[in-house]
Amino acid sequence: MSMALDETPAVSARDITKRYGGVTALNGVSLDVQKGEIFGIIGPNGAGKSTLFDILCGITEPSSGSIRIMGTEMRGIAPHLIARSRVARTFQRTAVFAESSVLENLLFGRQTSFRHGVLGRIIGSSTYAEDQREFQNLVEEVLALIGLDGERNRKAGVLAYGVQRRLAIGVALMSDPKIMFLDEPAAGMNGRETADFIALIRAIAPGRTILIVEHDMAVIRQLCGRALVVVDGKPVVVDEPHLVLRHPEVVSAYLGADDD
Amino acid sequence: MAKFSSIGTEMAIQDIGTVVAKRQTSAVDNNASGRMVREIIYVVCAVAGIAAFGFSFSDPFVVTLAGYTCAFALFALSINVILGGVGEVPLGQCLFFGIGSYGAAIGMGKAGLPFEVAVLIGLVLSVIWAAIIGTITLRLTGAYFSIVSWGLTGVAMVAANNLDDLTGGPLGLFGFPPIGIGPLELGDPQTYFLMTATILLASILFLVAVRRSPFGAAMESVRQNPHLARSVGVDVARIRLKAFMLSAPLAALAGALSVPYTQIVTPEVFSVANTVDGLLMVLLGGARLVIGPVIGAAMFTLIPQVLNLDPNVRILVFSSIIILIMMFAPGGLHQLSVALRERFGRKKDVDGVR
Amino acid sequence: MELLAQTLVNGLVLGAGYAVIAVGLTLIFGIVGIANFAHGAFFAMGGYACYLLTARGLNYFVAVPLSVVIVAIIGALTEWIVIRRSLYGDSHHGSLIVTFALGQAAVAGLILTFGPDPLPVPSPVGQSTLRFLGIFVTSQRAFIFVCSLLVLGALGLWLRLSIKGQQVIAVAQNARGALYSGIDVPWIRAIAFVVGVAAAGLAGALLAPITTIYPTMGNGALIVGFTVVILGGMGSIPGAMLGALLIGVANALFETYVSVSWTPALGWGLVIATLLFRPQGLLGQVQQHRH
């Protein structure tokens, strides 16, 4: 994974700190994720990785530090505007719109990616027709990709857990994102679902930058080029997964947590 | 043609102002066109029903009451734009109802304006107030919006009581000249009913169109999961505000249309009892269905008339019903009917053929 | 000058009463996670319970704690039967509607049972006046003030020192974490609800001799409670107390120096100002996400 030295990182964070009342959740975390990387963030529970994630995708404001996405400072920009700049995110809980069908879930983000306006819609301008065509193609592509083509009318809430997660990825794909944040996407999946999921991410990864917070080490090992370990709010090491997992501090942090 | 999905047809129909289907339906998926035919039939039936009722019933009391029911149903609809639309509880919706009522009354009584103009002024005022209140309160927890909008109705009541010159104080405004729109005399029960029923029907069609438009989809995403909606690019605060500003003139119109029936406007129009009534209508019929509030309105404006309940008994009974509904069937009658249908009929699970 | 001092003292007393209401509301919001629109109903029940007991000949000072117990019992029943069932489902506005409906039903019920007119609640200290640094305070007002401070202090101690109290705080900060630590979260929620509404009931019983009781007294208390909580910061108990103080004093000043009939609007003016300039309230935390 070599890149030109003057290329802006896709996601760049400097000295992120986050304090809640008296508790310091994050203490000086910095990272650079290059374009096209699949980057993992791991760490024991409560170590602050979810907080870091929320800050990186613009949902939470850090107490101090800066976040740049594609070189642009992200602090203070509203989440929905970030989403419209082709930065997508999936959530751990409430990953989909449970009361709506698979198709409707995909359609929810549509108006933000259109170039035509209301007038164009009413008079049926050519921009409108183009947008509709492109959009329709996109929907079909995404449905095929996540393997839910035949399930498009099923209510999202009744889908199996792993399938919901696939749908969540599909929803995230609708904005054709350049950068994707996946929050514990494989949580609760069984072995086969996880394998399918890994294949899906591999399929969508080309041309995108993906950040993943995960507990499942298999996922991290198989998908991520690099991973950052956060322990007690502090960054410990950034390196290839198999190296990171052998790092003495990481080992003690994880083993220490499991030790009874 | 093989890969044409229903999206093309649906999106064409759904967009406001574009009713002509632009794409063919695939052979497999004829849900969309079937639905359109059904809906046209509904509308035709509704129009026929309105005409039949309006022209055949002679008892002026019944017909006028039906007209008032339509007006109040419109109020319930406006509540549902918020409740079933974006998922907030507009406890202060009677604020706009009152603005509409007083707008009509003051415009006619004090300024000598024709009814239509007075109503229009009320509508404009309601939108302005919705913009102001919504901007301040909708950014924060749902409870803030509810309590502040409720509190403001109290302020409005205080204001209406104190600003005697304008509002007639506690006794209110009454003694209007015959109310009419152009050649239509709203004092005539039939005309009143036909007018309110038509406006109600038009509003329903409008709201259905809204619900199926991209704006409606955005509203739905906000209602189900604001967090997720934000992450797909929906400006949640703005959608909420727009919905609020859409609901206000509907409520105001309802308030104005109730004046020909009540023939008096007192500070009581701002009373929270109206919200209780409205909420109940919405919850009973089901907030998920656009016409749910209308069903609820029909049931619960007519029943008290028949039973002639003490107003406090009414509030007690209605509030208890609301609690029961929220405990056992939050989706109202609509939810119950869907549940029954699923139980006794076949499950509808359409799998498209690739 | 004397009038000002007098007004301020009245304001302090009002503030103390408001604080008890508002702290109860905050407790419920922070731990049970609902905006309790039935809070005013429990306030009214406290007043009416007190009325019933004193009407049967009980001494006022005995009636007050008994009223609190009665309200607590009703609160427990309500929590068990209604709140639990309609809250923890997926309808996130369910609690608002349900508690709102409960409140309205209570008002209607009170009117039907006791009639719409105000009723007096006699208090042994109702007639006497104390003199304190040149200011006259009715003994009842002094009683309210002292009682409120005692209750608030006791509540604070309970939260900080008792096991249940600490569990309550834990649930307020992180319900899921508390669950994993073995805390019986539903039980704690029930306790918090009962304590919260009992506080409202206490305030109702305390204020009854001054204001007389009437069916819609709850609406006023509810709105005061919310305005205080918004001003002070939703979820902050010290904020609730500060907000109560400010609003109590502001109301008293406004009533004396400006206008009585517009006083209800003052609270809302303060709320609007708060929401415009400092939406998190005086002591609240900036909300990260809107729930």
Quick check: B344 pLDDT over 90? no
pLDDT in the model for residue C90: 43
Distance CA A91, CA A95 (A): 5
Q: Which of B261-270, C124-133, C188-197 has the lowest mean pLDDT?
A: C124-133
In chain B, the N- to C-terminal Cα span, in Å, equals: 12
pLDDT of B22 > 50? The answer is no
Q: Which residues contact B226 (CB under 8 A, 6 or more apart)?
A: B236, C290
C55 lies in some domain: yes
Is pLDDT above 80 for A110? no
Counting residues of chain B whose pLDDT is more than 70, the rounded percentage is 85
Of A94, A98, A108, nearest to B232 by CB-CB distance is: A108
Q: How many angstroms away from the CA of B298 is the closest CA of chain A?
A: 28
Question: Considering only CA atoms, which of C148, C103, C141 is closest in space to residue C125?
Answer: C141
Q: Decide if B353 is inside a domain.
A: no
Report residue B249's pLDDT band, with 50, 70 and 90 as the boundaries.
Answer: very high
pLDDT of residue A254 exceeding 80: no
A18, A188, A251, B13, B153 from A138: Cα distances, Å:
38, 29, 44, 20, 48
pLDDT for B23 beyond 60: no
- Report in angstroms the alpha-carbon separations of B146 from B81, B135, B142, C44, C249: 15, 13, 6, 21, 26
* pLDDT at residue C2, rounded to an integer: 75
Whether the Cβ atoms of residue B41 and residue B167 lie closer than 8 Å to each other: no
pLDDT at B278: 86
Q: Is the pLDDT of residue B248 over 90?
A: yes
- Residue B90 Cα distances to B124, B136, B278, angstroms: 19, 14, 10
Q: Decide which of A5 and C176 is more confident.
A: C176
Residue B347, pLDDT > 60, answer no
| A181-238: pLDDT as tens digits | 998 888 878 888 888 889 999 999 888 999 999 888 888 888 898 998 888 888 888 8
- Note the pLDDT of residue B168: 81
Across the interface, whether the CB atoms of B312 and C287 are under 8 A apart is answered no
Kindly report the CATH number assigned to the domain that includes residue C176: 1.10.3470
**Stretch B30-47: mean pLDDT, rounded?**
75
- Considering the domain boundaries, does residue C175 fall inside one? yes
Residue B186 contacts by C-beta under 8 Å, 6 or more apart in sequence? B115, B179, B180, B192, B195, B260
CA pair distance A102, C120, nearest whole angstrom: 62
Q: Is the pLDDT of residue B70 over 70?
A: yes
Classify residue B281: in a domain, yes or no.
Answer: yes
Q: What pLDDT does residue B232 have?
A: 87
- Amino acid identity at A113: S
Q: Which pLDDT does position B305 carry in this prediction?
A: 65
Chain B residues near residue C98 by CB distance under 8 angstroms = 322-323, 326-327
Sign of torsion, CA C249 C255 C257 C258?
positive
Task: Identify the pLDDT of residue C30.
Answer: 80
For the purposes of burial, counting CB atoms within 10 Å of the CB of B313, is it exposed (0-12), middle (13-18) or buried (19 or more)? middle
Burial of C158 (0-12, 13-18, 19+ CB in 10 A): middle
For residue A59, list chain C residues with Cβ-Cβ distance below 8 A.
288-289
B221 in a structural domain: yes
- The answer to whether residue C91 scores a pLDDT higher than 50 is no
- Percent of all residues in chain C with a pLDDT value above 70, rounded to a whole number: 92
**CA end-to-end span of chain C, whole Å?**
47
State the pLDDT confidence band at B78, using cuts at 50, 70 and 90.
Answer: very high
Alpha carbons A129 and B32: distance in angstroms, whole number: 20
List chains adjacent to chain C, taking adjacency as at least 3 C-beta pairs closer than 8 Å.
A, B
**pLDDT above 50 for A260:** no
Q: How confident is the model at residue C87 (pLDDT cuts 50, 70, 90)?
A: low
DSSP letters for C47-65: HHHHHHHHHTT--HHHHHH
| Per-residue confidence (pLDDT) for residue A122, from 0 to 100 | 65
Residues of B with CB under 8 A from a CB of A: 3, 5, 7-8, 11, 15-18, 22, 214-215, 217-218, 220-221, 224-225, 227-236, 349-352, 354
CA–CA dist C255, B265 (Å, integer): 29
Interface of C with A in 60-89 (CB under 8 A): none
Q: Which domain holds residue B227?
A: 57-344
Mean pLDDT of C175-201: 85
Domain residues for the domain of C214 are: 2-277
Q: Say if residues C95 and B146 touch (Cβ distance below 8 Å).
A: no
Contact A226, A40 (CB under 8 A): yes
Using the predicted structure, report yes or no on whether residue B309 has a pLDDT greater than 60: yes
> Residue C65: its pLDDT value, please?
93
**Is B266 within a domain?**
yes
Per-residue pLDDT band for C173 (boundaries 50, 70, 90) equals confident
pLDDT at B16 over 50: no
Question: How buried is residue A166: exposed, middle or buried, by Cβ count under 10 Å (0-12/13-18/19+)?
Answer: buried
- Cα B324 from Cα B329, distance rounded (Å): 8
From B54-58, B149-153, B195-199, C244-248, the region with the lowest mean pLDDT: B54-58
Q: What is the pTM of this model?
A: 0.83
**Alpha-carbon separation of residue C60 from B274, C31, C56, C63 (angstroms):** 38, 32, 11, 5
Q: Is the pLDDT of residue B24 over 60?
A: no
> Given strand A87-90, what is the order of strands in its sheet?
A87-90, A179-183, A209-213, A38-42, A226-231, A234-239
Q: Is the pLDDT of residue B8 over 50?
A: no
Q: What is the pLDDT of residues C257-285, one digit of tens each?
A: 887 777 777 878 888 888 778 777 777 76
Answer whether B3 sits within 8 Å of A91, measured CB to CB.
no
Beta-carbon contacts below 8 Å between B and C: 130
Question: What are the pLDDT digits (tens) for A122-139?
Answer: 677 777 778 778 888 888
Q: Given this model, what pLDDT does residue B200 score?
A: 92
Name the least confident of A115-124, B32-41, B336-345, C76-85.
Answer: A115-124
Query: Is B166 in CB contact (< 8 Å) with chain C?
Result: no
A179 has a pLDDT exceeding 60: yes
Per-residue model confidence (pLDDT) at position A255: 66
Task: Copy the structure tokens of residue A42.
Answer: 């791991």
- How would residue C288 be classed by pLDDT, with cut points 50, 70 and 90? very low
Report how many domains make up chain B.
1
Considering only CA atoms, which of A114, A217, A216 is closest in space to residue A165? A216
Q: Is the pLDDT of residue B72 over 70?
A: yes
Does the CB of C169 have a partner CB in chain B at under 8 Å? Answer: no
Per DSSP, the residues of A26-56 read: EEEEEEEE-TT-EEEEE-STTSSHHHHHHHH
Q: What is the pLDDT of residues B91-132, one digit of tens each?
A: 899 999 999 999 999 888 888 888 888 999 999 999 999 999
Tell me: pLDDT of A56 over 50. Answer: yes
Whether the per-residue pLDDT at A115 is higher than 80: the answer is no
Flag whether C262 is in a domain.
yes
Could you tell me the two tokens for C233?
């910061």
Confidence band (pLDDT; 50, 70, 90) for B3?
Answer: very low
Q: What's the first-to-final CA gap in chain A, in angstroms?
A: 40
**10 Å Cβ neighbour count for C211?**
15
Backbone angles phi, psi at B295, to 5 degrees: -60, -45
Please, which residues 260-289 of chain C have a Cβ atom closer than 8 Å to chain A? 285, 288-289
B5 closest CA partner among A136, C214, C269: A136
B354 lies in some domain: no
Rounded distance between C-alpha atoms, residue A30 and residue C262, angstroms: 56
Judged by CB atoms closer than 8 Å, whether chains meet at B151 and C227 is answered as yes
Subunit contact B18:A108, Cβ cutoff 8 A: no
Spatial contact of A201 and A17, defined as CB atoms under 8 Å apart: no
Question: What was the pLDDT predicted at C86?
Answer: 64
> Superfamily assignment of A11-94+178-190+207-258 in CATH?
P-loop containing nucleotide triphosphate hydrolases (3.40.50.300)
Tally the domains of chain C: 1
- State the Cα torsion C165-C169-C174-C180 to the nearest 10°: -20
Residue B260, domain CATH: 1.10.3470
Residue B39 falls inside a structural domain: no
> Regarding predicted confidence, which is higher, C26 or C179?
C26
Minimal CA–CA distance to B317: which of B352, B350, B284?
B284
In a domain, B62, yes or no: yes
For position A1, what pLDDT does the model report? 46
pLDDT in tens, B185-234: 777 888 888 889 899 999 998 998 888 888 888 999 998 888 888 888 88
Taking CB atoms and an 8 Å limit, are A61 and C288 in contact across chains?
yes
Strands C129-132, C135-138: pairing is antiparallel
Q: What's the gap in Å between the CA of B253 and the closest CA on chain C?
A: 25
User: What's the mean per-residue pLDDT of chain C?
Assistant: 84
| Chain C CB contacts of B158 below 8 Å | 261-262, 264-265
- Of the pLDDT bands very low, low, confident and very high (cuts 50, 70, 90), residue B28 is very low
Which of B79, B84, B329 shows the shortest CA–CA distance to C93?
A: B84
Span B250-255, mean pLDDT? 95
Residue type, C198: A
pLDDT at C38: 92
Query: Mind telling me how many Å the CA of B123 is from chain A's nearest CA?
Result: 24
Pairwise CA distance, residues C91 & B325, whole Å: 12
Average pLDDT over residues A172-176: 86
Is the CB of C289 inside 8 Å of chain B's CB atoms?
A: yes
**Tokens 């208890």, residue?**
B320
**Is the pLDDT assigned to residue B271 strictly greater than 80?**
yes
Mean pLDDT of C47-69: 91
**Between residues B99 and C237, the one the model is more confident about:** B99
- The residue among B254 and A159 whose pLDDT is bigger is B254
